[in-house]
Structure 1
Amino acid sequence: MSTDTHSPDRVRPWIASYPEGIEWQTEIDTTPVHEQVLAACARNPSAVALDFLGGTTTFGDLAKKIVAFAGALQSQYGVKKGSRVALMLPNTPFYPIAYYGVLRAGGTVVNCNPLYTVPELSHITKNAGADILITLDLKQIFEKAEALLAAGHVKSLVVCHFPDALPLAKKVLFSLFKRKDLSNPSRSVHAGKIRAFDELIAAKETPSAVHIDAKTDIAVQQYTGGTTGIPKGALLTHANIAANMSQIDKWGCGLFYPPSKVVAVLPFFHIFAMTVCMNVPLCNGTQVVMLPRFELKALLDLLLRTKANVLPAVPTLLNAIARADTATSEHLASLEVAISGGAALPDEVRHAFAKKSKAILAEGYGLTEASPVVCCAALRVASKPMSIGLPLPGTDIRFVDVDKHKEVGIGENGELQVRGAQVMSGYYNNPEATEEAFDDGWLRTGDVGHVDEDGYVFLVDRIKDLIICSGFNVYPRTIEEALMAHEAVEETNVIGVPDDYRGEAPVAYVKLREGKTVSEADLKHFLAEKLNKIEMPKEIIFKDALPKTLIGKLSKKELREEYAQKKAQKQ
């Protein structure tokens, strides 16, 4: 659905505000990402590509493992162009090897969040038709993978042995003291359908060549939702992924090249981290330093040890750094740039972070359907505060009046719409949703805002009911359906409210059935098996009646107003 963005008749005020050395109308590289990363590996094979808790992988070793894994996928599993392969992995060296290996084999990556519940994972793997799932032997993850295998939603598991990712000393300590955290896949009742990742790599099979048509072949099928809360598979072509990398690369003015080091604490299965923390740096031969999950002390120790200078983050993470007494100027001294994405960056977090670090804090904006980055504040010089910055090179935007469906002028609010080489081709097997997502070739974002006279973009609201919590999409309907499964609940309506820590958080309003009683704690206990931690309501508020529209639909508007008034009275 991407269209030519270089229409000469369009007014683009942002071009005049571009930092020196960056051109909006520029050639965008759409070379498939696996070809780019293997070329980077060949250029400097002895350089360190990955740092995981102090254990390192060189670019040369990375290339060998990518190629070997691709060969195994082709010969052992018949992976070819169009095959869907699911990845359910936290940040470890296994992730980039598996990701690029799938692409080199000709397959399509289907990312799965290990925090998702089994029903959520079942929908994704079943909808995608992913026969193979690559995962870890950590119990909390493997047990979900095994459940998917038992249910027939995937046919085969490839399991990575977590201690193999650790440096020797940590590997020994893990084996001694944390062995109980591991599953033993060889003892699974489904062991015949499970293979070890390291055995596939050790076979050193050479993959056959695969001709990739970058414009049409799908690299990543990334699941995202909308107002319905039912995840849809956004089809991101090889050209979409590569184009956004190229746009970010040009925007960075050399930031993503050696000797830079990029921190990957955001999970690679999230589109923001996949592109900014992994693809862009690795394809430029730049080291990526990883953490498997966010823990403040571990992140501060990592910064002190590696002297990393680029930190892609979400506001939650930046807020944790800004508010922590343990985060000293010494810890943050190496940081040159922090890039905030995934959710709106509160002004108070911006100011608090600035007191701790001299790094440029640049807010960006994107969405899964745009691979994901659309706009970003300048990464080398100061930008307008409270703005999500300027459209990236080769990216066109417009704001359209939601009611009149006409483009609005400078400073007028409307729905943000996007065109560019990074915009998806559509949703998998969902022509209705695809048609709804576009307006005359422009991707509808569902976000409302405006562009000022200097071309800076400001967002003010969202059309969708989507809640963005710590950078992750949370869908009210998912929570509402889970609550409605409780015998005491008659009606429920979930809204997103501002949250100092997570950006936004879900709050559930509940009307109980006549004669029934249940506490907030009881309901949260009930929800624990149905929702992941991100989806868990911050608060459950009981009411005798829930507001409705004239046609009887539950209305969120009054609840948002009521919650805002209640919060204002407390302050």
Structure 2
Amino acid sequence: MIQPNFSSGSPVQFLSNLIREHAELLQDQPALRDDAQVLSYLQLDRAMDRIAATIQQAGLRRGEVIAICAMNSVRYACIFLGALRAGLVVAPLAPSSSPDSLVSMLRDAQVRLLFWDSAAPEIEEFAGIQRISLDGDTDGIPFDEWLCPEGTQPQSVDIEPDAAFNIIYSSGTTGVPKGIVQSHAMRWAHICRGAKYEYGPAATTLLATPLYSNTTLVVFFPTLALGGCVVLMTKFDAAQYLVLAERYRVTHAMLVPVQYQRILSVPSFEHHDLSSFRFKFCTSAPFGAALKSNVLRRWPGNLVEFYGMTEGGGTCILDMRLHPDKLHTVGKPADGHDIRLIDEHENEVVPGESGEVVGNSPGMMTGYFKKPELTKEAEWLDAQGKRFIRTGDVGRFDSDGFLVLIDRRKDMIISGGFNIYPSDLESLLRGHPAVSEVAVVGVDSMQWGETPVAFVVLRAGQSVLSFDLKIWCNQRVGKTQRLSDLCFVDELPRSSIGKILKRELRDAYRNRSLISTRT
């Protein structure tokens, strides 16, 4: 088995170099596969060289940013990895973004080159960004025409461990986007963690979440770094997932809770041979204890939950085979991760009390791209000046050191594994002339886990149908951020200091006690 040196304090090794080593030693072993093609490590290495050389010939230099806004594919993966070999920073963007949001993120990241396909929202051309069409159905130079001749070699580039690897955007709706800058050192920390979960040349990881999501990337990169094969689904389909898992003898998976639920609900689930699975992972959304238990009981292989943030900081890990009595928790801090709890005055709480979760580890974001004030807000320093990342989640440690989450992160809604920020939707709705006040909350959904619902107070003398206002909003946001319902209320419940009590709104939605009959 080919493995980097994972000993404590080992120097950062770069993913591009690891893939080069695999190309020399594994050669024809599959590295990437989708429903259209399969690439061996030797072919992947050559594709990365060709893409890196073409990027350099286009005038881009180390540290500049390219963006990819497309559906999962082998080609997408090659572009991401080829750009890294050229020393560039990759900004993977959600095709479900609204046009205005996509333009905002492209400008914020100072993108020089955009790779996109027909899944991306249509935007007008603007100066400074060259567009490359991955499928021939979008504006720009066709990808095959853009590429330089086969065999072209890129110039060697020196990269520092603290250099930016990628920028992950936390907001893909109508609000001000925050680009989370992750370094090569941070990605190396993820790779080192992955080495503990039996990745290697015999591993096959099936990915049904998008490559623009950090949820996907925390298993995508370790699989390739350790010489395994990644199978990419363009779009998640529960029944097809089971077919592919059986066909390719899949060993590793990363799924969000709603995907586990849908897969277990496939009528033919019990008829598929899933005995090849070694590890299944979950992150990004609350994972109920009952669902965890169901997965453990019915699906072979271990089940591991990661609790953390794209910004990094600290991670808690729950190995459910080892701790079946702790399924209500998110596990213990990972090795080398310092997780603490602080009160509203930013003092550490005494053992047994609850507080906001903050964390420090080798895997921490450099900061929010070009937003030092927001970066500072996301950090907490202890008495010795040690840097922690704040989660906004409230939790407590039980007597065995397992973290139990009590409240949700800053009212964020997690729908189908994707983050939805209520403030973005609230800002949009306030722009409608009939709206006086608005609050958006997440409510339970069998299909998505959570789904956003808006509560609106109309301006005096104004009239609009709730259905029409919901459509007005949903036409202006990305697919994953659309409201499932919009309700009129006479007033929003508030605390004595004027804070909107969103928990009361969630409860009201369940029993409709506050909702006006006005439609």
Fold shared, TM-score > 0.5 on shorter chain:
yes
Indicate conservation of the 8 Å contact 1:72/1:203, yes or no: no
Q: Tell me the CA shift for residue 59 of structure 1.
A: 0.6
Query: Compared with structure 1, are the counterparts of its residues 356 and 350 closer, same or farther at alpha carbon in structure 2 (3 Å cutoff)?
Result: same
Question: Which residue is equivalent to 2:234?
Answer: 292
Question: Which residue is equivalent to 1:21?
Answer: none
Q: Does 1:427 align with 2:368?
A: yes
Structure 1 segment 143-222 matched on structure 2, within 5 A: 144=122, 147-148=123-124, 150-152=125-127, 155-161=129-135, 183=137, 185=138, 188=139, 191=140, 194-197=141-144, 199-200=146-147, 202-215=149-162, 217-222=163-168
Question: Which residue is equivalent to 2:517?
Answer: none
Indicate conservation of the 8 Å contact 1:497/1:560, yes or no: yes
Q: Aligned letter for 1:116?
A: S
Larger helix proportion, structure 1 or 2?
1
Indicate conservation of the 8 Å contact 2:63/2:87, yes or no: yes
Q: Aligned letter for 1:513?
A: R
Question: Which segment drifts farther, 219-228 or 109-118?
Answer: 219-228
C-alpha distance in 1 between matches for 2:332 and 2:11? 20
Structure 1 segment 163-562 matched on structure 2, within 5 A: 183=137, 185=138, 188=139, 191=140, 194-197=141-144, 199-200=146-147, 202-215=149-162, 217-225=163-171, 229-250=175-196, 252=197, 255-276=198-219, 278-370=220-312, 374-378=315-319, 381-383=322-324, 384-401=326-343, 403-440=344-381, 441-550=387-496, 554-562=500-508
Q: How many residues were matched structurally?
A: 502
Q: Tell me how large the CA RMSD over aligned residues is.
A: 2.6
C-alpha distance in 1 between matches for 2:270 and 2:314? 31
Structure 1 segment 60-209 matched on structure 2, within 5 A: 60-75=42-57, 77-136=58-117, 138=118, 140-141=119-120, 144=122, 147-148=123-124, 150-152=125-127, 155-161=129-135, 183=137, 185=138, 188=139, 191=140, 194-197=141-144, 199-200=146-147, 202-209=149-156
Query: Compared with structure 1, are the counterparts of its residues 287 and 198 closer, same or farther at alpha carbon in structure 2 (3 Å cutoff)?
Result: farther
Indicate conservation of the 8 Å contact 2:173/2:481, yes or no: no
C-alpha distance in 2 between matches for 1:51 and 1:305? 12
C-alpha distance in 1 between matches for 2:403 and 2:145? 47
Query: Compared with structure 1, are the counterparts of its residues 25 and 52 closer, same or farther at alpha carbon in structure 2 (3 Å cutoff)?
Result: closer
Indicate conservation of the 8 Å contact 2:66/2:90, yes or no: yes
Q: Aligned letter for 1:427?
A: Y
Query: Compared with structure 1, are the counterparts of its residues 224 and 40 closer, same or farther at alpha carbon in structure 2 (3 Å cutoff)?
Result: same
Q: TM-score, normalised by structure 1?
A: 0.82
Instruction: Specify the SS of the correspondent of 2:315.
Output: strand
Indicate conservation of the 8 Å contact 2:173/2:478, yes or no: no
The CA deviation string for residues 302-322 of structure 1, in whole angstroms up to 9 with x for no partner, is 112112121110001001012
C-alpha distance in 2 between matches for 1:225 and 1:509? 21
4+ residue segments displaced more than 6 Å: none
Q: TM-score, normalised by structure 2?
A: 0.90
The CA deviation string for residues 395-444 of structure 1, in whole angstroms up to 9 with x for no partner, is 2211112x232222443211111111111121111111111111111111
Question: Which segment drifts farther, 116-125 or 499-508?
Answer: 499-508
Gapped regions of structure 2 (runs ≥ 5): 1-5, 382-386, 514-519
Indicate conservation of the 8 Å contact 1:226/1:464, yes or no: no
Indicate conservation of the 8 Å contact 1:26/1:393, yes or no: no
Q: Aligned letter for 2:215?
A: F
C-alpha distance in 1 between matches for 2:240 and 2:61? 39
Query: Compared with structure 1, are the counterparts of its residues 556 and 25 closer, same or farther at alpha carbon in structure 2 (3 Å cutoff)?
Result: farther
Question: Which segment drifts farther, 429-438 or 194-203?
Answer: 194-203
Q: Aligned letter for 1:157?
A: R
Alignment identity in percent?
A: 28
Indicate conservation of the 8 Å contact 1:29/1:242, yes or no: no
Q: Aligned letter for 2:186?
A: N
C-alpha distance in 2 between matches for 1:293 and 1:515? 46
Q: Aligned letter for 1:45?
A: Q
Gapped regions of structure 1 (runs ≥ 5): 1-23, 162-181
C-alpha distance in 2 between matches for 1:379 and 1:70? 41
Structure number with higher relative contact order (C-alpha < 8 Å, ≥ 6 residues apart): 1
Question: Which residue is equivalent to 1:12?
Answer: none
Question: Which segment drifts farther, 354-363 or 237-246?
Answer: 354-363
Query: Compared with structure 1, are the counterparts of its residues 566 and 529 closer, same or farther at alpha carbon in structure 2 (3 Å cutoff)?
Result: closer
C-alpha distance in 1 between matches for 2:28 and 2:292? 38
